[in-house]
Structure 1
Amino acid sequence: MNLNIDAIKSMTYDAIVVGSGVSGGYAAKELTEKGLRVLVLEKGKKFDHVTAYEPSYKDPWDFKYNGLLTNEQKASHPKLSRDYPYNEMTEKYWMNDSDALYKEVKRFDWFRPDIVGGKSIMWGRQTYRLSDIDFEANLKDGVAVDWPIRYKDIAPWYSYVEKHVGISGEALGLPQLPDSEFLKPMDMYCVEKEVRQRIEKNFPGRNMTIGRVANLSEAKEAQLKIGRSACQYRNKCRLGCPYGAYFSTQSCTLPPAAKTGLLTLRPDSVVSEILFDNAKQKATGVRVIDTVTKDVREYFAKIIFVCGSTVATTALLLNSKSARFQNGLGNDSGELGHNLMDHHFRVGAAGTWEGDEDKYYIGRRANGIYIPRYRNIGNDKRDYLRGFGYQGGGSRQSWNRGVNDMSFGADYKDSMTKPGPWTMNLGGFGETLPYHENKMYLDPTTKDKWGIPVVVFDAEFKENEMKMRKDMMEDAKEMLESAGLKNVRAFDNGSYPGMAIHEMGTARMGRDPKTSVLNGNNQLHGVKNVFVTDGACMTSTSCVNPSLTYMALTARAADFAVKESKKKHL
């Protein structure tokens, strides 16, 4: 046998990280800073901080269609164009539909980025902690399986991550929404402040606060030393931030990882399989296909962090088969691919505010207000499980209010140059229960351009979510009307799994290897040197945005992995 030992050595690292988004970037930072040589493999193309954010330097009129999609783009991207993330301004950030094939038994909107940094470039940046009300919910409700951790286990890691990321927000002391390590809160507008007072007076137990957001309201030493600066109030976050004012892989985790000299980043690299050694009962590395040349290579490491985002991560595990794991790596429980979750939203109310027309705001605040969950807490009992929160805010109408107006004349034109009346909206984000029958799996016959089986989705919102949506709409209308807004309109614009881009589950954490995929340290029960720390690990969804929890779990798991490796337990 002729082995090229030097070639194998050059392909060997201490740790491999699959994916470079919120979780993968954090894994790279933590593992390199702990002294490991780390290879990060990213399916998307190279995307450099500052210089790659070309759309963020343009004004709306610099785009041919002011951000709208042409009929041709809609036809070539029938799935991506279903909702707001994909448009003329952001087109270069997402995979083409032809390269991101998937099938649907029931509708599922899967948005797949095509860049280093993944969705950390385009995310909504709302950052909230889960509480023990969330971690204990499955056990108390008799739903699915119990989380293997509690708030006390992750609280120190929330704090650790928040100090690096920089979270702007206001402390409230609420048990259902633990406070973070906050930078100063962004200002609420005059109308929001008045609505807040009226809601809190009329509905004891309901609170309104400014959103907790990963935008720097001020830049502390931790952020300045890696080249970040405070938010410029441009509200162009979805186009990339050259100032590094919000958390992204490029601005926040790759720079410190690169500074160690231990990071290797390889874009254009789709991981097709995790390699498993039957004799050692360990993963030994990964098989990678170059997305451009289609060359196949193998890389090796003692530790593997799978952070490809929920669906891609689980697809990789399902495609990693061996004599030991014939139904997917770590799939002894048969739960891999099941319990697919997402938040449901696009329901609430909006109205107009009379007065305060002599007031306006400075800049374009990249944030809104937040009303934390208040349903099914304490003595409040509903005919559904769990709860919801609201995001929204106030603003002055612009000239767009005249688009469908048939008025004319000099006075009318002059009026359109001035701000219109204040408006206020509340949009609910609701928790979805983990249903075993909500699932994703690999198509046995259809493959993508790289020869990898495509994903099939079979998931839907059920009766519990539908009952909750009624409250989400009616409560929003009632609160706005009680606060004095006029012409309040309730709405339910419908929601499908995937639309909120908060995919979770499919490789859940749990206490029992017979009913879960991961243990309390984010390890595969059956493969101790493989860790999953993105949304796939979630056992339930809470009703808050989940990315902060992914980061905290990733930092916690990286710390554990390095300690276990030093003990030679991996």
Structure 2
Amino acid sequence: MIKTTNKSIHIKTRPQEYDAIVVGSGITGGWAAKEFCEKGLKTLLVERGRPVEHKKDYIGEGVKTWEMPFRGQVEKALVEKQYPVQAQCYAFNDATKHFFGNDHDYPYSTEKDKAFSWIRGNQLGGKSLLWHRQSYRWSDFDFSANAKDGYGTDWPIRYKDIQDWYDYVEHHVGISGSVENIPQLPDSKFLPPFEFNTVEKRLKAKIEQHYSDRKLIMGRCAHLSKPAQHHLEQGRGPCMARNECQKGCSFGAYFSTQSSTLPAAQKTGNLSVATNSIVHSVIYDAKSNRATGVRIIDSETMETREYHGKVVFLCASTLGTTQIMLNSVSETFPNGIANSSGVLGHYLMDHCYNAGAYADIPGFEDEFYSGRRPTGVYMPRFQNLVDKNPDFLRGYAFSGQAYREAWWEFGGKKGFGVDYKKAIQQAGGWKFGLHASGEMLPRYENQVSLHATKKDKWGIPQLHFDCSYSDNEKKMMQSAADTAAEMFEAIGLKNVHKYTNDRPMGIAIHEMGTARMGKDPKTSILNGFNQAHDIPNLFVTDGACMASSAWQNPSLTYMALTVRACDFAVKEMQAGRI
């Protein structure tokens, strides 16, 4: 295990010019810091939130539900005052709330009747401590989709351009999964998959026998099912199937900045970290046409300072990066840095998690399962690959699981007396659910901008959202609900219920697209290496760079793009071009 004290790397002021400045310490920022440090660059990692130390600061880890004041619930008054948006997240509870942003301190606004839920984790490690760890490659079905149907700009890359970088990332991270040879979902470099339970095996066989175009696989996740030697050398151990991941994992069994990339960067001696440092804007020098650093507001003291570097990587999350770029104005870029195209803030996307179905599974009363597996079953996209659906473009995947009702579900059931108590002590019936993750089309009118008058407590203009799902996404979700219910009926499940809902954009926590890649500098912000068309030493590698959303969870692709961009940037620096 790498032991590095906070004192040795955490800084406030430093007169030197860094080789690289990385803004944001989440999944992409952690990777950028690791890559630059290992390539010998003196690197500053800037984080707007507080420091979080691996193991020590996982204060909710191991705390039992019945040991909490409200059995894991957060008191209503506190939610209303500080977390009205964050509390919508599946991972928010009394044991994790300290990893979420305080909505009171981070306000934003939306257009009337266009809700957006902005989930934030403002601390060292960012949302890498909170993510759901589902890890899927994209394919050329995704990278070529914009060109084929005309929505969005054509990606300047294809699968072959990042295939080797997927390999590189997966080796370090550790992705659990199975080889399936599905064209629209390329296989990864896998650790052993987690196991189907007996009922899921039966459902898988029935579905695949009934539908030749559909396959039920185990969800691919960034968990060490069986660590390799290099994972053990990172100080990480195997997943214990506790299902406490968002509390923080002292085993390092799931991939996060704290468990993996930060220790690797620290080990080199090339890393400095500035926490509680809110980036106000990027410093731009018009004479050299270079980004020369970042302006900082200390979140605790309100003091301002500057950090200077030879290359700047923005990895502050899609919306955090966009806010910084929009606020970085100059005579050359009056509407935001690197925004000669005018598309900065436009084409905002999120996935649709708004439909599915659930049902009862008859029988299997003598079957149960062990542990709390960190992933579920997954059905990759099967629509609009060959035959075209007349109702919508693109497609969706399903995720879910088969499970038995547990004691806590009786909190919502009627009952009284001895029979009720006995029922709680027994496992309930088997259930199965599939829930859609749908692709959102990139549309210019879906945008985020700086509010004309409202500012946050640090004097930075607030973001204003003007975005909504289109008819394409709504029809896609209705199809997902209908399709899931039809499958359940076809394989003999009972009490089938399908649903759609109107959960707001943002709640999937897959926002992307506001500083997109593209071939044409007139219609995009970045080239195929995540490098700004307008400023050669400015890069964006978080979700803002995405030209489309695809249907898969995006974090693995963010990682692959980040390490590829770092490799490119270092070579460009060595060649004297940046």
The Cα of 1:90 is off from its aligned counterpart by 1.6
CA shift in 2, pair 1:404/1:438, >3 Å: closer
Q: Of 6, 12, 37, which aligns to 2:17?
A: 12
Aligned residue number for residue 331 of structure 2: 323
Q: Of 80, 84, 91, which aligns to 1:78?
A: 84
State how many pairs are aligned: 564
Aligned residue number for residue 33 of structure 2: 28
Asked if structure 1 preserves the Cα contact closer than 8 Å seen for 2:517 and 2:547, the reply is yes
RMSD between aligned residues: 1.3
Q: Which stretch of the first structure deviates more once superposed, 481-490 or 518-527?
A: 481-490
Asked if structure 1 preserves the Cα contact closer than 8 Å seen for 2:63 and 2:95, the reply is no
Aligned residue number for residue 56 of structure 1: 61
- Asked if residue 275 in structure 1 is aligned to residue 283 in structure 2, the reply is yes
Secondary structure of the corresponding residue to residue 310 of structure 2? strand
- Asked if residue 493 in structure 1 is aligned to residue 501 in structure 2, the reply is yes
- Aligned mates of 2:421, 2:88 — CA distance in 1: 34
The Cα of 1:313 is off from its aligned counterpart by 0.2
- Asked if residue 357 in structure 1 is aligned to residue 362 in structure 2, the reply is no
Aligned residue number for residue 478 of structure 1: 486
Matches within 5 A, 1:23-422: 23-76=28-81, 77-105=83-111, 106-422=114-430
The Cα of 1:478 is off from its aligned counterpart by 1.1
TM-score, structure 1 length as denominator? Answer: 0.97
- Aligned mates of 1:344, 1:221 — CA distance in 2: 38
- Aligned mates of 1:426, 1:150 — CA distance in 2: 30
The Cα of 1:445 is off from its aligned counterpart by 1.3
- Aligned mates of 1:413, 1:9 — CA distance in 2: 64
- Aligned mates of 1:482, 1:57 — CA distance in 2: 42
- Aligned mates of 1:262, 1:380 — CA distance in 2: 52
Amino acid at match of 1:369: V
Secondary structure of the corresponding residue to residue 87 of structure 1? coil
Asked if structure 2 preserves the Cα contact closer than 8 Å seen for 1:100 and 1:112, the reply is no
Asked if structure 2 preserves the Cα contact closer than 8 Å seen for 1:360 and 1:396, the reply is yes
Amino acid at match of 1:215: H
Asked if structure 2 preserves the Cα contact closer than 8 Å seen for 1:125 and 1:214, the reply is yes
- Aligned mates of 1:132, 1:84 — CA distance in 2: 31
Amino acid at match of 1:87: N
Amino acid at match of 2:533: H
CA shift in 2, pair 1:214/1:429, >3 Å: same
Asked if structure 1 preserves the Cα contact closer than 8 Å seen for 2:19 and 2:309, the reply is yes
The Cα of 1:8 is off from its aligned counterpart by 9.5
Aligned residue number for residue 447 of structure 2: 439
Asked if structure 1 preserves the Cα contact closer than 8 Å seen for 2:439 and 2:550, the reply is yes
Q: Of 440, 448, 453, which aligns to 2:461?
A: 453
Aligned residue number for residue 3 of structure 1: none
Amino acid at match of 1:463: D
Amino acid at match of 1:236: E
- Aligned mates of 2:330, 2:215 — CA distance in 1: 52
- Aligned mates of 1:60, 1:236 — CA distance in 2: 11
Secondary structure of the corresponding residue to residue 219 of structure 1? coil
**How high is the sequence identity, in percent, across the aligned residues?**
48
Unmatched 5+ residue regions in structure 2? 1-11
The Cα of 1:380 is off from its aligned counterpart by 4.0
- Aligned mates of 1:359, 1:388 — CA distance in 2: 31
- Aligned mates of 2:292, 2:188 — CA distance in 1: 38
- Asked if residue 524 in structure 1 is aligned to residue 529 in structure 2, the reply is no
Asked if structure 1 preserves the Cα contact closer than 8 Å seen for 2:216 and 2:378, the reply is yes
The Cα of 1:356 is off from its aligned counterpart by 1.3
- Aligned mates of 2:279, 2:541 — CA distance in 1: 17
Secondary structure of the corresponding residue to residue 433 of structure 1? coil
Amino acid at match of 1:227: G
CA shift in 2, pair 1:348/1:9, >3 Å: closer
Q: Which stretch of the first structure deviates more once superposed, 66-75 or 128-137?
A: 66-75
Amino acid at match of 1:143: Y
Aligned residue number for residue 9 of structure 2: none
Unmatched 5+ residue regions in structure 1? 1-6
Deviations 1:317-340 (A, max 9, x none): 010011111110000100000000
The Cα of 1:194 is off from its aligned counterpart by 0.8
TM-score, structure 2 length as denominator? Answer: 0.96
Asked if structure 1 preserves the Cα contact closer than 8 Å seen for 2:359 and 2:497, the reply is yes
Amino acid at match of 1:249: T
Aligned residue number for residue 539 of structure 1: 547
Amino acid at match of 2:310: K
The Cα of 1:401 is off from its aligned counterpart by 3.7
Secondary structure of the corresponding residue to residue 104 of structure 2? helix
Asked if structure 1 preserves the Cα contact closer than 8 Å seen for 2:140 and 2:159, the reply is yes
CA shift in 2, pair 1:435/1:502, >3 Å: same
- Aligned mates of 2:458, 2:196 — CA distance in 1: 49
